Amino acid sequence: MTRPLSIIIVEPDRDRALLIIDSLQAAGDFDIQVIAEPTSLARQIQARQPDVVLIDIENPSRDMLEELALASGPEERPVAMFVDRSPEGLSSAAIEAGVSAYVVDGMQPQRIKPVLDAAITRFRMFQRMRTELAETKRALEERKVIDRAKGMLMKARGIGEDEAYALLRKTAMDQGKRVADVAQALVTAAGLLG
């Protein structure tokens, strides 16, 4: 029987790391470790000698792994980019999903495939969550600006809240802009005029 693949996950967020571990364990029997601290990443990985390293592409510490590409002898050189020249287009799929996996050169692709498949699914989900979070934040920001603009109009013109919003909306439509942009322009202008 072959020994289970050893995998290191580089992920500072504990909850995300746990989610990745869950999805990997569902995919097979792996020996999994997590590194949360990016300091001396390359040295830690070298000390533990994993078969595969999984890291988020957005993580700038990924460059530290490149050191390993030049390390030691050619047989046990832990290189090479994800899924080193795998024929199944896995590298491209991984990049798309925002995951890099470093694998020991010479490993059979079929042993890595389940790992990557699981990781890719998980990372895609994170990506969606990131986008949703950013969108929600933006929407909240815009709501705040619109509220401020409404308040200014109510005070300056002595009108009610609904009327103030109607005015903003009409101006936006007349100018072919979004309500949030008109509100932002008003808030900025008011700030400039003091």
Partner 1 sequence: MSLTPLSVGFMPLVDAAPLIVAQEMGFAAEEGIALDLKRAPSWSSLRDMLSFGKVAAAHMLSPVPVANALGLGGAGAPLSVVSVLSVNGNVIGVNRDLARRLRDGGHDFGFRDARAAGEALIAAAQGRLRIGVPFPFSMHAELVFYWLSALGLPAPQSVDIRTVPPPLMGDAIRAGEIDAFCVGEPWGSQAVENGVGELLLPCNAIWAFAPEKVLAVRRDWASEESALLGRLVRAVWRAGRWLGDPASRILTAEILSRPGHLNLPPDILDRALSGRLVLSSRGEERLVPGFVEFHRSAATFPWRSQAEWLGLQLAARTGLDRSVAQAAAASVFRSDLHRLALRGLPAALPTASSKIEGAVETDTAVATEAGRLILQPDQFFDGRIFDPDAA
Footprint on this chain of partner 1 (rule: CB under 8 A): 38-40, 42, 57-67, 69-70, 79-82, 84-85, 91-92, 95, 100
CB of 10 to partner 1, least distance (A): 12
Angstrom distance (rounded) from CA 10 to CA 26:
19
DSSP one-letter string for 136-177: HHHHHHHHHHHHHHHHHHHHHHT--HHHHHHHHHHHHHHHT-
DSSP one-letter string for 52-69: EEEEETT-TTHHHHHHHH
Of 49 and 72, CB closest to partner 1: 72
Of 61 and 171, CB closest to partner 1: 61
CB of 57 to partner 1, least distance (A): 5
Of 65 and 182, CB closest to partner 1: 65
Of 48 and 85, CB closest to partner 1: 85
CB of 11 to partner 1, least distance (A): 15
CB of 30 to partner 1, least distance (A): 24
Query: What Å distances lie between residue 158 and 153, 155, 164, CA to CA?
Result: 8, 5, 9
